[in-house]
């Protein structure tokens, strides 16, 4: 029977730095048989269910009452009560009507927005496949606990934070959690650096991310609120709403007005009594003066104005959750934006091609006719696991979908090519070789295409394909071009081929991925949205400073920021690791001079927003990932 792991903060261990054997020992579990049912129950009782806790939604009643907590509204309510007591029912009724009108308008706007926002909540996996007592079974994801051995495959949502034991070509889409544009290739080897960002922990899979390719087995090392997703939820719950400039000014105005009215009424009361007027009469006079001096229509006028502004914003596809935010938009001095899916299309595209010593930026143009371009497009189409369906949609890994589309635009449709050059076999990709090879029937035998990391593909090439056939290869020039493309934020792949008289008897990397002829390089990127460049320019014209805060790599972030005009060549890009080494004071000093923050964690996004706010800036935040939520709430 397995023992429960120590109750010491188990989730605080640097799991990505530990070897598989040590992990099994720490978790007191046999990776082959998993936990027993009784041990699962004990651990669940000790650590709790694998659930993300959240505050219960506000009831409609409390949402309505919340409209009456503003200081000016409280003053008006007091004035209505006093008016009723001193025998001025019409004044009292008028004030009550205005207060209720203000409350109803605010409630209706917030109610609609809350219902719309509820539809945007991320779905979490409901079930998981686990190995328990030597048997594979499907259980509710909420019942997972520390040490459970979980099996995931393409299409699954990862049900808890896992340290991977076994992987088979595993790739996971972590965009919502880290901002990474493309699925991340995973492995099982332990890593040496303790303080790695989440996106660089390649032997881990995280709750709520999506497996896009392959399969894996891993041990649960964090559940519920202890998972990375849970930590973000915790930050979101801790983060308090910030008062808008209008709310601050109205509160300050209300306090000053109340003080001034009380002072004047006290002066009138004392002066009247001093002159010999009856004290009761002077008290009623002072109260009447106070009620008359209160601008009871002000809150209603402000609320109606903001509601009209919110209505105009809805027409521009912007949903206003809280009315004061309408005014805040006019006071914004900084806009902090996520990159993936917000500034970019969240859709990979082939940006550049390199072959025969030439770099071109448009696929399918006249300058990519003939060889080696013809065979390069053929390799992009055939050495590809993406497929098209009857509706014209391409399904598969985002990188392979981009290659499929680029080849099709150049009149090399995979579905057509497969009819004459069907796949005969393959050597799958793995994280050690960093390449894959497919074999296809050709006109005079068999042709293999190899695709992968440029340095790994080039290393296996003896020649390169020119216009008239193979020529001597200049590996340094090719790798230099690949490095330049990567420095511009592109994801670079190398492609090569080899002709065979017949299908190789043994399909192994040693026999089949050698003596290759280099075809070319393909550079891919998640391109910026077309409308963003104009939006950035407009913000700068209006005196608003745009800032990019992303979990993606610094080189990719810099490339996109330069294209959009968010930064210039001389501006600095700072990473999350560098940011973590700064003191709070140093961060507040530097934050106003940095335009791109890359590889940052969710809590660092909050700190950036708060540092700007401490400097007196009014900060807006935009993003579409789970990792953006805490900063969105704090901005």
- Catalogue the active-site residues: 338
Classified as helix, coil or strand, 329 is helix
* Distance in angstroms (rounded) separating the CA atoms of residues 281 and 276: 11
What are the C-alpha distances in Å from 310 to residues 118, 304, 329, 356?
19, 10, 11, 57
Q: Token pair of 133, please?
A: 């007592």
Asked if 561 and 596 touch (Cβ cutoff 8 Å), the reply is yes
In the chain, what is the greatest distance between 2 CA atoms, to the nearest angstrom? 121
* Distance in angstroms (rounded) separating the CA atoms of residues 148 and 416: 46
What are the C-alpha distances in Å from 635 to residues 54, 55, 179, 545?
20, 20, 19, 14
| Residue of 347, 349, 383 lying closest to 364 (CA atoms) | 349
Asked if 434 and 471 touch (Cβ cutoff 8 Å), the reply is no
* Distance in angstroms (rounded) separating the CA atoms of residues 311 and 109: 9
413 DSSP 8-state letter: -
Structural element, H or E, at residue 446: strand 445-452
| Long-range CB contacts (within 8 A, 24+) of 403-407 | 403/350, 403/493, 403/522, 403/524, 404/380, 405/349, 405/350, 406/349, 406/350, 406/363, 406/364, 406/377, 406/380, 406/522, 407/377, 407/378, 407/380, 407/381
Q: Token pair of 568, please?
A: 């210039």
| Cα 559 from chain centroid (whole Å) | 18
Compute and round to an integer the Cα radius of gyration of the chain: 32
Classified as helix, coil or strand, 355 is strand
* Distance in angstroms (rounded) separating the CA atoms of residues 53 and 227: 12
Phi first, then psi, for residue 579 (nearest 5°) are: -65, -40
* Distance in angstroms (rounded) separating the CA atoms of residues 575 and 197: 10
Measured from the Cβ of residue 419, the count of other Cβ atoms closer than 10 Å reads: 8
Q: Tell the residue number behind the tokens 């930590």, with chain if given.
A: 231
Q: Token pair of 330, please?
A: 């006019």
| Residue of 7, 572, 599 lying closest to 339 (CA atoms) | 599
Exposed, middle or buried, 558 (CB in 10 Å: 0-12/13-18/19+)?
Answer: buried
Asked if 456 and 427 touch (Cβ cutoff 8 Å), the reply is no
* Distance in angstroms (rounded) separating the CA atoms of residues 532 and 123: 29
């Amino acid at each position: 029977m397995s023992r429960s792991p120590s109750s010491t903060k188990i989730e605080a261990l640097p799991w990505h730095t530990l070897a598989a054997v040590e992990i099994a020992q720490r978790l007191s579990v046999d990776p082959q048989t998993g936990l027993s049912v009784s041990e699962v129950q004990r651990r669940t009782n000790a650590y709790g269910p694998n659930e993300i806790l959240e505050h219960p939604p506000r009831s409609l009643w409390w949402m309505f009452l919340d409209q009456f907590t503003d200081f000016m509204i409280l003053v008006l309510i007091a004035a209505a009560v006093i008016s009723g007591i001193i025998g001025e029912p019409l004044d009292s009724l008028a004030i009550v009507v205005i207060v209720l009108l203000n409350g109803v308008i605010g409630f209706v706007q917030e109610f609609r927005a809350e219902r719309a926002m509820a539809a945007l909540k991320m779905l979490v996996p409901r079930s998981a496949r686990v190995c328990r007592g030597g048997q594979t079974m499907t259980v509710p994801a909420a019942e997972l606990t520390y040490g459970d051995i979980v099996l995931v495959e393409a299409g699954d949502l990862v049900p808890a934070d896992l340290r991977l034991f076994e992987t088979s070509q595993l790739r996971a889409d972590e965009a919502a959690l880290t901002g990474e544009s493309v699925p991340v290739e995973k492995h099982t080897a332990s890593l040496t650096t303790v303080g790695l960002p989440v996106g660089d922990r390649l032997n881990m899979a995280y709750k709520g991310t999506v497996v896009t390719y392959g399969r894996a087995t891993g041990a649960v090392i964090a559940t519920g609120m202890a998972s990375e997703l849970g930590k973000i939820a915790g930050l979101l719950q801790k983060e308090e709403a910030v008062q808008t400039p209008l709310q601050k000014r109205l509160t300050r105005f209300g306090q000053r007005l109340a003080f001034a009215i009380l002072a004047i009424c006290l002066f009138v009361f004392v002066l009247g009594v001093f002159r010999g007027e009856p004290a009761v009469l002077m008290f009623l006079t002072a109260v009447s003066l106070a009620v008359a001096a209160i601008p009871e229509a002000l809150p209603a006028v402000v609320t109606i104005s903001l509601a009209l502004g919110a209505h105009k914003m809805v027409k521009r596809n912007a949903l206003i959750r809280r009315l004061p935010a309408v005014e805040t938009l006019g006071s914004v001095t900084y806009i902090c934006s996520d990159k993936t899916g917000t500034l970019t299309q969240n859709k990979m595209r082939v940006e550049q091609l390199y072959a025969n010593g030439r770099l071109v930026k448009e696929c399918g143009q006249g300058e990519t006719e003939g060889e080696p371009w013809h065979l390069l497009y053929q390799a992009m189409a055939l050495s590809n696991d993406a497929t098209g369906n009857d509706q014209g949609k391409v399904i598969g890994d985002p990188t392979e979908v981009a290659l499929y589309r680029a080849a099709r635009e150049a009149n090399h449709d995979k579905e057509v090519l497969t009819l004459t050059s069907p796949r005969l076999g393959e050597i799958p990709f793995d994280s050690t070789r960093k390449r894959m090879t497919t074999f296809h029937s050709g006109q005079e035998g068999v042709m293999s295409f190899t695709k992968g990391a440029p340095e790994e593909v080039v290393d296996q090439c003896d020649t390169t394909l020119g216009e008239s056939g193979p020529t001597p290869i200049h590996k340094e020039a090719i790798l230099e071009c690949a490095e330049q493309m990567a420095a511009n934020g592109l994801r670079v792949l190398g492609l090569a081929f080899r002709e065979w008289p017949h299908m190789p008897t043994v399909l192994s990397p040693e026999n089949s991925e050698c003596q290759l002829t280099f075809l070319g390089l393909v550079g891919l990127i998640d391109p910026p949205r077309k409308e963003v460049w104009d939006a950035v320019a407009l913000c700068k014209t209006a005196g608003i400073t745009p800032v990019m805060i992303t979990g993606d790599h610094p080189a990719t972030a810099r490339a996109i920021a330069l294209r959009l005009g968010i930064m210039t060549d001389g501006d600095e890009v700072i990473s999350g690791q560098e940011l973590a080494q700064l003191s709070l004071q140093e961060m507040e000093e530097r934050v106003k001079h940095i335009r791109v923050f890359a590889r940052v964690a969710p809590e660092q996004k909050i700190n950036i927003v708060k540092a700007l706010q401490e400097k007196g800036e009014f900060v807006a935040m935009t993003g579409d990932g789970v990792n953006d939520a805490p900063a969105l709430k704090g901005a």
